[in-house]
Structure 1
Amino acid sequence: MRMMAAALSFLLVAASPAATVDDLGWLAGDWVSEADGRWTEESWAPPRGGLMLGHSRSGRGDALREFEFIRIAAGADGTPAYIAMPQGGAPVTFRLVQRDKASATFENAAHDYPQRIAYARAGDTLTATISAIDGSKPRRWTYRRR
């Protein structure tokens, strides 16, 4: 039974049209998470010209602790990729491996941490989770639309 379900799942994925950056437009917006004096903000511009631009920053009180420039663009094979530049450093690319109408998972098994970045949206709530490739060491942020 499991093999049948896995085969059916593979056929459904193989039969679906290739993802584009436009398919990830549900991520666009200004998102904020605040708890215990800590805050994290993430903003995404809507897709245009095959590109989504974003940034995030986090801190405590008035002090900035981290920032990141991020973008989603088609990779060399046309599959969307999440490209992060933590602290403005060298880009790290995570390839889209799974998506539906309101969630997306990007992976880069060769990166130290994180290796997986996942987003899921439900109405005005956005959840972002980073983890190792096997799902261990998860860190999660729950954002609300600003």
Structure 2
Amino acid sequence: MRFLPIAFCALAALTALPAVGQPVEKMAWLAGCWQGHFGEPGTVEQWLAPAGGTMLGMSRTIKQGKTAEYEFMHIRQLPEGVLAFVPQPNGRPPTVFRLLRLGESDALFENPEHDFPQRIHYARPAESRLVASIEGMRNGTMRRVEFAFSRVSCDAQAAGPGNK
């Protein structure tokens, strides 16, 4: 069991596709509604299916009954043919993270010039599970933060925890 994460990473590396020339449709595995396990009910991330050359996403983190953080995101192909993940956390200006590696159900994006994080990774280890992580140097120390999600019905999320 100890070797399962190593085997998963090795398999992902073997099946990873080159970063250039990948259409956004290769990210379709990310589409759907995902309930976060790191906040209160209502903590979600939702991704629309690929269409028109983009995937649109949004997230919301609830703490003490209030929205503590939110983020608008999109994935699109840059003019040079590389996919990019472009987040806008809490209304800040967008930051471009270029695709470094794309597998069957995982993607690694990087922006070495960004303060923190420099890498953003999405992996779907099972149909009903999603793990997102951010990592990079912060104040001279390597830091990694992981966010675990479970797939939920988008209709259930539309109702919200207090709107049923």
TM range (shorter): 0.7 to 0.9
Listed as ranges, the gaps of 5+ residues in structure 1 are 1-8
Say whether the 8 Å CA contact 2:88–2:94 is kept in structure 1: yes
What is the number of residues matched between the two proteins?
135
Segments ≥4 residues shifted beyond 4 Å: 35-39
Which of the numbers 45, 48, 62 marks the counterpart of 1:45?
48
Residues of 2 paired with 1:36 and 1:47: CA distance? 27
**Cα distance in 1 between the residues matched to 2:114 and 2:150:** 29
Give the SS at the match of 1:23.
helix
Which residue in the other structure is 2:133 paired with?
129
Higher relative contact order (CA 8 A, sep 6+): 2
1:88 is aligned, of 87, 91, 100, to: 91
CA distance in 2, matches of 1:36, 1:77: 38
How far 1:39 sits from its partner (Å)?
A: 6.0
Give the fraction of aligned pairs with identical amino acids, expressed as a percent. Answer: 35
- Whether contact under 8 Å (2:135, 2:145) holds in the other structure is yes
Q: Does 1:28 align with 2:24?
A: no
5+ residue gaps in structure 2? 1-12, 153-164
Any conservation in 1 of the 2:40–2:61 contact (CA below 8 Å)? no
* Residues 13 and 100 of structure 1: CA distance in aligned 2, closer, same or farther (over 3 Å): closer
Q: CA RMSD in A?
A: 2.5
1:1-146 aligned within 5 A? 18-35=21-38, 37=40, 40-121=43-124, 122-132=126-136, 136-146=142-152
Q: Which TM-score applies when normalising by structure 1?
A: 0.83
Higher strand share: 1
